[in-house]
Chains A and B, each alone.
Chain A
Amino acid sequence: MPVNSSLTTAFYAAPQFPDDAQRLFEAGCRAVGLGEAGPPSPLPANRGFASALVLAREWGMSDLEAELVAAIEASYEPTWDTERAEFTWGMGLGEPHPRGQYNAYLATAEAAGPGRWTALSAAPIESCPQIVGVDFPSMALSRAEWVGDALHLSLAPMVENPRALTEFRLVGAEPRLWFITGIDNAMMDTRGADVVFRVPMVSADMVLMPGIY
């Protein structure tokens, strides 16, 4: 197999054999000019550059990450279809439908970060009270994370409209009142064991702090 295929092999090997994966990865990078003469322009349509970006972010290789981001932005046609709420890459192929596998790797790179790919293989996500019933894709959460007793939510509506409300629930937490900070005009209510939140359709970093029972 050509050595540049190791860019994808290293992606699969990284969580279990990081040292060997890094050697493979570096050989693959050299084979396609990354970090040296520069990658071909435009980039050929394949998985390798996207999986390389995952690993550059996984291993905190910021220079390589910047090189890959610039090349991918220039060659792979990142495109928002706001009517369908879809973000895809055309890859320069001139095809009516985005390629599934290539887009899958590029989407993985968008979600990648230091140690994340390894962590996914290491242990299940820790069980915690969950937000459910978000009206996706009209509303999404770019952060939903417990920090101590506080739940941090970053609201990311597709279209902002402060006069429109959307609703979601918190399940699995002890029934109680919650203090809401970071957003105006948000309301909460209890429905059985669940807590229901109504918030305006705005981008905001809201924090739920436990209040009285």
Chain B
Amino acid sequence: MASWHRFDLVDSSYALGLMAQRTPAWTERYVQVLDRLIERHTSWWSAADWLTQFGPDPDRGNYPDAYRMLIPEELWGDYDVPGWTANGIEPWGTQMDPVAADGMLFYKGFFLLLLGIRSMVADDDRWNTPFDMIRDGDNSFSWRHSAIAEHLKEQWLAAPIGCH
């Protein structure tokens, strides 16, 4: 579930945020590194799972026994392992923007965490100006930090169980 490229980026930001607290009068390097992490998180590779895992997992019937603790017993063989993003399933259909999508909570949530740590460390508000994400022809999407947070908040308000 967490074995995707973007988790290396996001998880690396935690230490930077804490180090910046130890040297609050020297934050230049942390901001530079955080900016590079965020830049990478705007690329296609950040959402490689959402952009390649369409529909039910065709490998559902071949999961290793270790997955049994993650899947209801009665649905074994007919249930996607947590982390399989299943873009395109009904009733939502295919949605290529991982931020706008009805699903992909763990994408936009962790991206907000990365953006949020940067905003706690830096003096400027660089990522609140629009930037392009995914950048794959027609599948290019413009977002900014506050807009992503607002969108996710609306998704939570719209569905009591939250964004899936």
Q: Which residues of A contact B (CB under 8 A)?
A: 1-2, 54, 100-101, 104-105, 107-108, 110-113, 116-117, 119-121, 123-134, 136, 141-146, 151, 153
Contact of B24 with A144 in the complex, beta carbons under 8 Å = yes
Contact of B11 with A143 in the complex, beta carbons under 8 Å = no
On chain B, the residues within 8 Å of A131 by CB distance are 25-26, 28
Q: Which of B20, B24, B70 has most A Cβ within 10 Å?
A: B24
Residue on B nearest A131 in the bound complex, by CB: B26
A131 to B23, CA, bound (A): 10
B53-78, CB under 8 A of A: which get 1 and which 0? 00000000000000001100000000
Residue on B nearest A129 in the bound complex, by CB: B25
A105 to B28, CA, bound (A): 22
A107 to B8, CA, bound (A): 12
Contact of B14 with A105 in the complex, beta carbons under 8 Å = yes
Contact of B15 with A111 in the complex, beta carbons under 8 Å = yes
Q: How far is the CB of B31 from chain A (nearest CB, A)?
A: 10
A203 to B29, CA, bound (A): 20
On chain B, the residues within 8 Å of A110 by CB distance are 15
Q: How far is the CB of A205 from chain B (nearest CB, A)?
A: 13
- Given A1-B70, A130-B27, A136-B29, decide whether A116 and B11 contact each other with a Cβ distance below 8 A: no
Known: A111-B19, A124-B120. 16 other contacts (CB 8 A): A54-B14, A104-B8, A104-B12, A117-B14, A120-B18, A120-B120, A125-B20, A125-B21, A125-B27, A130-B25, A134-B29, A142-B22, A143-B22, A143-B23, A145-B25, A146-B24
Restricting to B76-122, which residues have a CB under 8 Å from any CB of A?
Answer: 116-117, 119-121
